[in-house]
Structure 1
């Protein structure tokens, strides 16, 4: 019997002991109140960690770590981590790649251990505070400490990825099938809200660093460290409110989780072949999410190099995306309640394609049109990600949430390299960032076709889960 099945059986037994009539109603109301409390706590992990993605990765760390690497470079512009010659301007990109590799190695193991032990919360705490501590430690990235910066980035990125596996795995346990679209969308909205709020505070500090008696580098390091402090402080809320569920092991379960984690990973990969419709969704998600992640990472390059926009314009555009993503996530969550998650995601993919097509024709040196493009991205960004997560939660077999969400998170973070490669190769061949940005339409078109072919109701049934009224 799975963890979720055991939980439902226990809940049913409690209802039976409660009697009938008013007592049943009170028991049901009490269970609903407990579930809502967990959901509100769950939202706050997005609120805690999204600041890292926004302020650290998107805005401040790349340029600052590159400047630190350049300060440590030799006369030819190279640094030598582990004795390997690396051009200083490429150090940040290579470090991000190394963090992805580390995350890919750790995520499935963490998921397998979490499902076998049922102890998701302690593992979430360990990952969250490892990442928060590494981020806070970025305050010390002065002078030529590029190696320290690379190490902290690898640790923080990998810890974030592991924590998201565990965080996402709580969703099927804290929300009924009909609640998941709304709960997932609210989680994304909480994350974008905190990202926008802290980014505003950081920009005030950065722009006015002289009036605060700080150098520009000191202001950046405070902004980086503040993201870690924020992450650690607000992670307390979900860790207090979420609860682990007891695991009922299947007959024949053998070695302990620490010994058999990798063996369990291989078993999970084999097990996923029993659910080909779940795999079909993952393939579609891998492709269109690759396009989403590439747009996020390359939009600033398109804006600065092709549209010749200033850094301040790009930062305001990032802030605009964060703000509108809140409305987009909540709005698309409501659309999903009416039309179903699959149809709403398909609509968002069509909107992504139209947005990129519009971006191709944007005139240079016109910030207002770039802000319009950022607005379009913001409105579809949060919703497409939130609904993809909630839809996948219906396709996960009971008791295997963390293992399957580790595969989902690998699709989200570990395999999003094809899009940047296509973007880079297109620019290399054509010399045009406009051609590079329009090439990404293929990811949304192919993802649309593959997702449209997935019979999600049959996929939910095949995974052994109840089918929501709208999906």
Structure 2
């Protein structure tokens, strides 16, 4: 059982506040999809760096830029979370991360072919703001309802997030067109578009989300000292609490694999599967819709079948998804022989994308809800700071590992690294147990 002290159950927050909280997920998915996954990542590797035909340097530099931004989160998220708990300033920290992401994302318009270091600097800054903002917004989750409702609330947030990504990217792809050098003057507007979407869509968060606790005005030096003391206390508690420690270890390996999938899926489709533009757009729609279903559906299941049981199920789903990604060309050949007609790898990849999308929404929602369930609300900033540390340290490990492996083995073979990560995450989850008053194991 977790050694973290529990507080009496509470009623759910008003629907308006839950909606405002979930709208931040809706808003920030425009950044992660348009900039990291679908458009700018492909633009950076194939046009800004442009080291075809295999783009190994571009892929490696993209991994490095993301890893540096996540490294900043690893260092600062636990400290910021501890300061937020002590001073009741979570909303102020969230505001700062939001504005940093909006401004630096808008400036991506000025990144032209050959301006590699300028592009990397803006990606580091914007992705840092986005990534640490994930920890800040997640720290509000324990305030929004009793533990037995948090799976559903977390799933609602992730589901709205994928809906937001679907809306933003559908408009962007329709307005901006393909990622090609000839279309650069239009596609470069992806930065300002993503920034504007994030800016406007997150406004309900700051209008409706409440800051709980009594704000304390402390000098900056005092805040830093208090923050570091709380971080050290949390580390001591992690040494004593096997269940919580095991959860963070499992989340580390889970998120290492997920960040690889997020950053390289569309690069993989372009370079390995060699899909056409229509398949690329279809893949995006399929993964977003299935991610919505996975987040909301598995969030509902988590509150009924047990949060740990559903979390482990999502890890098994990920293992199957990665095997299917790797075996896509082989599966296409097997289907062609079975059906007696040609079957393209990109057609099979669409089906694989549905499994991956379902796993993506389910796993992220389940992991976040588990941290909320096992963390007292009065210490939510601190523990979600460690959640951010685990996730972003995982991103560094995963992205650099994949970047180096694909430079050595090629991207098609290196993707099996994700399978290893998800298997380790499943094994690491064995000691995880929720408090006795939560259903399931």
Q: Within the alignment, does 1:150 sit opposite 2:120 as a pair?
A: yes
Q: Cα 1:179–1:433, aligned 2, differ >3 Å: closer, same or farther? A: same
Q: Where does residue 139 of structure 1 map in the other structure? A: 109
- Give, in angstroms, the shift of residue 255 of structure 1: 7.4
2:105/2:195 contact within 8 Å kept? yes
Q: Partners of 1:324 and 1:373 in 2: how far apart?
A: 11
Q: Within the alignment, does 1:307 sit opposite 2:285 as a pair?
A: no
Q: Partners of 2:364 and 2:25 in 1: how far apart?
A: 13
Q: Where does residue 32 of structure 2 map in the other structure? A: 53
Normalised to the residue count of structure 2, the TM-score between the two structures is 0.84
The equivalent position to 1:403 in structure 2, one of 375, 378, 382, is 382
Q: Where does residue 447 of structure 1 map in the other structure? A: 425
- Give, in angstroms, the shift of residue 404 of structure 1: 1.0
Q: Partners of 2:104 and 2:293 in 1: how far apart?
A: 31
Q: Cα 1:423–1:96, aligned 2, differ >3 Å: closer, same or farther? A: closer
Q: 340-349 vs 186-195, which deviates more?
A: 340-349
Q: Where does residue 371 of structure 1 map in the other structure? A: 350
Q: Cα 1:90–1:306, aligned 2, differ >3 Å: closer, same or farther? A: closer
Q: Cα 1:224–1:41, aligned 2, differ >3 Å: closer, same or farther? A: same
Q: Cα 1:362–1:65, aligned 2, differ >3 Å: closer, same or farther? A: closer
Q: Cα 1:449–1:209, aligned 2, differ >3 Å: closer, same or farther? A: closer
Please state whether the residue corresponding to 1:469 is helix, strand or coil.
coil
Q: Partners of 2:190 and 2:78 in 1: how far apart?
A: 32
Q: Partners of 2:58 and 2:33 in 1: how far apart?
A: 23
More relative contact order, 1 or 2 (CA 8 Å, 6+ apart): 2
1:130/1:156 contact within 8 Å kept? yes
- Give, in angstroms, the shift of residue 162 of structure 1: 1.8
Please state whether the residue corresponding to 1:110 is helix, strand or coil.
helix
Q: Where does residue 278 of structure 1 map in the other structure? A: 244
The equivalent position to 1:188 in structure 2, one of 158, 166, 171, is 158
1:107/1:161 contact within 8 Å kept? no
1:116/1:247 contact within 8 Å kept? no
Unmatched tracts of structure 2, length 5 or more:
333-343
- Give, in angstroms, the shift of residue 95 of structure 1: 2.0
1:4/1:399 contact within 8 Å kept? no
Q: Cα 1:350–1:219, aligned 2, differ >3 Å: closer, same or farther? A: same
- Give, in angstroms, the shift of residue 220 of structure 1: 1.8
Q: Within the alignment, does 1:289 sit opposite 2:267 as a pair?
A: no
- Give, in angstroms, the shift of residue 189 of structure 1: 0.4
- Give, in angstroms, the shift of residue 290 of structure 1: 1.7
Normalised to the residue count of structure 1, the TM-score between the two structures is 0.79
2:256/2:398 contact within 8 Å kept? yes
Q: Partners of 2:60 and 2:410 in 1: how far apart?
A: 21
CA RMSD across the alignment = 3.2
1:154-169 equivalences under 5 Å are 154-169=124-139
The equivalent position to 1:235 in structure 2, one of 176, 186, 202, is 202
Unmatched tracts of structure 1, length 5 or more:
12-30, 74-85, 462-466
Q: Where does residue 394 of structure 2 map in the other structure? A: 415
Q: Cα 1:294–1:147, aligned 2, differ >3 Å: closer, same or farther? A: closer
Q: Where does residue 339 of structure 2 map in the other structure? A: none
Q: Cα 1:355–1:204, aligned 2, differ >3 Å: closer, same or farther? A: same
1:80-99 equivalences under 5 Å are 90-99=60-69
2:111/2:118 contact within 8 Å kept? yes
Q: Within the alignment, does 1:328 sit opposite 2:294 as a pair?
A: yes
